Amino acid sequence: MRVAFAHYSQEGDISGVTTWVLGLARRLSADGVTVAIHFVVTPAEPRPDPCIEPQLFEDLRRQGIDVFSTPRRASLKEDVQDTLSFLNDWQPTVFLPQCKPAHYAAAAQAGKRGLPWALTLHSDDPDYWATVRAFGGSRQGSSLVCVSRHIRDELNRRRIDRPASVIPYGVSVPLTPAEFCTEPFRVVFSGRIWEHQKRASLVIQTLIRACRSSGSIRATLIGDGYARAACEQQVAEAGLGGAISFTGPLPPSQVQARLLEAQAILLMSDFEGLPIALLEAMAAGVVPVVRRIPSGIPELVDHERTGLLVSEDPAEAAGALQRLADDPELWRRCSTAARDLVAQHYSADSSYRQWRQLLGDLDRRFSEAPSNPYPLDSHRIDSLQRIAPSFSQEYKQPMAGTTTLRQALRTAIARAKHRIKRLLSSHP
């Protein structure tokens, strides 16, 4: 079996999808499967020496994984052609594209020729639904995998022409869990500090309220993103620099160490799939305080049993954190139940077994096919016809000096949208 992933490359990335891709690739390789990852390196901060590859690539090669990388091209079609060239050169028996439209378009092209591939829906958001509409049908040869039952149910509601399986993420359960502590009571946020999806403004407003109401609460934000500077400014203006800190991106081992020191994790997202940061925290016995949204979250957080569910109101979320800090019995009950839930249903071993079985089935499909799909035609790309215009959005070059303005506008629009949504929902 030869399994190829296609993903983006971003140094220090701690997104759930990247964590999952690297974890599955490493485990497959250690299990004797031949594995390759094709990275499309997106424009980012200038490197001191562009000729030196990221340390991640060297680490993966040391672990027996073939690594290939190409810079992102000027157009979606060129990126699709690069991905098809990689497939022709490496010739996998199973393909797992992730996140980028070019990877899915290449997979759909290859799928029509008989290469088995899986489209994994990591989140309940418009980009994934557009991807399913364009590339997820039976004609493109994909197998659909959902990380939560909620996404599977939504997929069924949209009447996609093929069934989907549910394979949740899995995480390791530390031998020793976090312990209750009230001096200080530590709260963490772990992930991308964005307004889009993660609602950084709600996170920071909640933490400011919580730290103002109790001198024993301390908060740490792990991660980075375009909204971090605005959050740091709000903390400084509130005079809470000693209570709320920012670590920037941390390697997984340091993230786990921070979690084991914490008592609660805060998540105020608009949409999610099955947040790995939340699973990792619950595995450590850290109690979640999270927004009640249609997602995989209610599959993890049973109110007052494995955590606390709140609205998007920062005052309510801050009150929930204070409640946990003031009620050791509630905290211990939720901590134990959260840890048990992850150990029983969301372990790394359980998730890997399900993926190993699916990949084995796809590999057998390749072996039993009447003809070899290679070489794949990289000139006439049928999968690019009638796709969503948003798929080409990232190839539009912004005018010089507009990046900061675009980020500010994105944040302002997101806030306005949610204020309008709240107003409409309050008036039947």
Euclidean distance between CA atoms 150 and 273, whole angstroms: 8
Q: With a cut of 50, which residues of the chain have pLDDT below it?
A: 45, 400-401, 403-404, 418, 421-422, 425-428
Label residue 395 exposed, middle or buried (CB < 10 Å: 0-12, 13-18, 19+).
Answer: middle
Phi, psi at 288, each rounded to 5°: -85, 140
Spatial contact of 190 and 265, defined as CB atoms under 8 Å apart: yes
Closest C-alpha to 13, from 251, 254, 256: 251
What does the H/E/C string look like for 287-314?
A: EEEEECCCCCHHHHCCECCCEEEECCCH
Euclidean distance between CA atoms 137 and 291, whole angstroms: 32
In this predicted model, what pLDDT tens digit does every residue of 14-41 receive, in sequence order? 788 888 999 999 999 999 999 999 999 8
Per-residue confidence (pLDDT) for residue 425, from 0 to 100 = 47
**In 3-state terms, what secondary structure has residue 126?**
helix
- CATH fold of 2-170+348-387, please? Rossmann fold (3.40.50)
The Cα-based distances of 61 to 37, 53, 55, 67, 84 in angstroms read 10, 12, 10, 7, 22
Q: Which two tokens stand for residue 356?
A: 């190993």
> Does 185-345 match 2-170+348-387 at the fold level?
yes
Label residue 157 exposed, middle or buried (CB < 10 Å: 0-12, 13-18, 19+).
Answer: exposed
Spatial contact of 116 and 140, defined as CB atoms under 8 Å apart: no
User: DSSP for 345-378?
Assistant: HSBHHHHHHHHHHHHHHHHHHHHTSSS--PSPPS
Annotate 79-100 with b (16+ C-beta within 10 A) or e (fewer): bbbbbbbbbeebbbbbbbbbbb
Number of CB atoms found within 10 A of residue 393's CB:
11
Per-residue confidence (pLDDT) for residue 144, from 0 to 100 = 94
Domain ranges of the chain: 2-170+348-387, 185-345
Euclidean distance between CA atoms 376 and 81, whole angstroms: 10
Closest C-alpha to 76, from 388, 389, 395, 379: 395
Q: Which two tokens stand for residue 98?
A: 């992730």
Spatial contact of 320 and 330, defined as CB atoms under 8 Å apart: no
Closest C-alpha to 235, from 208, 209, 265, 202: 208
Residue type, 363: D
Phi, psi at 215, each rounded to 5°: -70, -10
Phi, psi at 43, each rounded to 5°: -60, 135
Per-residue confidence (pLDDT) for residue 192, from 0 to 100 = 87
Euclidean distance between CA atoms 319 and 359, whole angstroms: 45
191 in the Ramachandran plot: left (φ > 0), alpha (ψ -120 to 50) or beta? left
Spatial contact of 214 and 182, defined as CB atoms under 8 Å apart: no
Euclidean distance between CA atoms 372 and 130, whole angstroms: 30
- CATH fold of 185-345, please? Rossmann fold (3.40.50)
Euclidean distance between CA atoms 109 and 115, whole angstroms: 9
Q: Which two tokens stand for residue 306?
A: 């494995």
Could you tell me which residues come within 8 angstroms of residue 403 by beta carbon, excluding any fewer than 6 positions away? Answer: none
Largest CA distance in the chain: 69
Q: Chain-centre distance of CA 153, in angstroms?
A: 19
Beta-bridge partner residues of 310: 291
| Cα atoms in the Cβ-side hemisphere of radius 13 Å centred on 109 | 27
Euclidean distance between CA atoms 19 and 191, whole angstroms: 11
